[in-house]
Amino acid sequence: MGHYLAKRLLLMIPTLVGILAITFAVIQFVPGGPVEQMVQTLTHSGLAGETAAAAPSALMRGQAGLSPEELAELNRLYGFDKPALERFFDMLVSFARFDLGQSFFHHQSVGALIVDKLPVSMTLGLWTFFLTYLICIPLGVAKAVRDGSRFDLVTSSAILVAYAIPGFVLGVLLLVLFGGGSFWQLFPLRGLTSDNWAELGPLDKALDYLWHIALPVTASTVGNLAVMTLLTKNVFLEEIRRQYVYTARAKGLSENAILYRHVFRNALIPLITGFPAAFIGAFFTGSLLIETLFSLDGLGLLSYESVIRRDYPVVMGSLYVFTLLGLVAKLLSDLSYLWVDPRVSFEEGGR
């Protein structure tokens, strides 16, 4: 196992570098970079005779146009005065030290930006993650035990209809129905907390928080129920039809004993092994459309704005963090097989 773990950790390095290299190469051919956007802003604002370093404070002074010296200063300011290959290797060195650089437009470090936006995405992601598991596993087990019954057909129809409705469409419907759009004003329209949240007591703060997240979490969760529920049902059905279940029944064991002592433990293996990836991924699953719809300033909105504004340090820094965590989550998922089933071997040939 130690050999396998070391090999996987070493393979993460070229995978991570390859993803960053492809993204960095694509960025070089995308028009409208930060220098071009600043030049356009300065030109339309009528700036001339000012250095690029002083440009933000002198947008409304001078004549139109930038001199070559000012254009060169802008390139130096944004780090584009170096060849692309040199900039890429400088970025890798900084990332190796977990220095994600400075945002072009937010004027703060990329790491601080991610940490600042993380609570919103954590709220959506973690609540969606826990509710999905808490609802889907019991529902999937119940459907497997009652396979083919009216309960199975009705619940399958309901979750498939919910799966077919996009999350943002459901969010709009919830706002119209319960957010004061046309019917009832039962839930707030935006934000995670009320304006007077700091003045509330501990219990009132918790209730206010749950009141605000009810609609966005519902919109994010409903569409995820179908896949996990049907996966749970199919896994349990496969286990229920195995020979050891018929043998246990022949020995006189009750259905509950067979289900919870034998079937449940074996059927949960494929579900538990996906737990690490789903848990880590929950921190970054905030939907851009859900965040925009409910005015939640999270990582989804940050990533979208950084792409539109060509804020390359934020694009590359967030990609680095997400990719690294994704690779770690995949490794933990593989290792969890050994934890839930000691018979699994990572050595070649199963030895």
Specify whether 74 is located in the same domain as 97: yes
C-alpha pair distances (Å), 52 with each of 70, 76, 311: 5, 9, 18
Contact assessment for residue 286 and residue 125, using Cβ atoms and an 8 Å cutoff? yes
Residue 178 confidence (pLDDT): 85
Question: Is the pTM of the predicted complex or chain greater than 0.75?
Answer: no
Specify whether 104 is located in the same domain as 218: no
Contact assessment for residue 177 and residue 185, using Cβ atoms and an 8 Å cutoff? no
**Rounded CA separation 193/204 (Å):** 11
Specify whether 183 is located in the same domain as 154: yes
Specify whether 224 is located in the same domain as 249: yes
Residues 26, 281, 126, 155, Cα dihedral to 10°: 100
Domain around 6: 2-110
Residue 342 confidence (pLDDT): 62
The last residue of one of the domains, among 85, 110, 135, is 110
The last residue of one of the domains, among 95, 110, 125, is 110
Contact assessment for residue 162 and residue 173, using Cβ atoms and an 8 Å cutoff? no
Least Cα distance to 284 among 114, 119, 125, 129 occurs for 125
For residue 283, give the CATH number of its domain.
1.10.3720.10
**Rounded CA separation 272/130 (Å):** 13
Specify whether 135 is located in the same domain as 83: no
Residues 99-158 pLDDT 10s:
888 888 888 899 899 888 888 888 888 888 889 889 988 999 899 888 889 999 999 999
Specify whether 257 is located in the same domain as 130: yes
The last residue of one of the domains, among 110, 130, 158, is 110
Residues 158-192 pLDDT 10s:
998 888 888 888 888 888 888 766 677 888 877 78
3-state secondary structure of 102: strand
C-alpha pair distances (Å), 223 with each of 62, 72, 133, 218: 55, 50, 13, 9
Number of domains in the chain: 2
Helix then strand count (H, E) for the chain reads 17, 0
Specify whether 215 is located in the same domain as 249: yes
Specify whether 99 is located in the same domain as 141: no
String of DSSP letters for 8-36: HHHHHHHHHHHHHHHHHHHHHT-SS-HHH
Specify whether 124 is located in the same domain as 97: no
Residues of the chain whose pLDDT is less than 70?
Answer: 1, 37-67, 70, 180-182, 273, 276-277, 281-286, 340-351
Specify whether 306 is located in the same domain as 275: yes
Specify whether 62 is located in the same domain as 133: no
Specify whether 174 is located in the same domain as 229: yes
Cα Dmax for the chain: 93
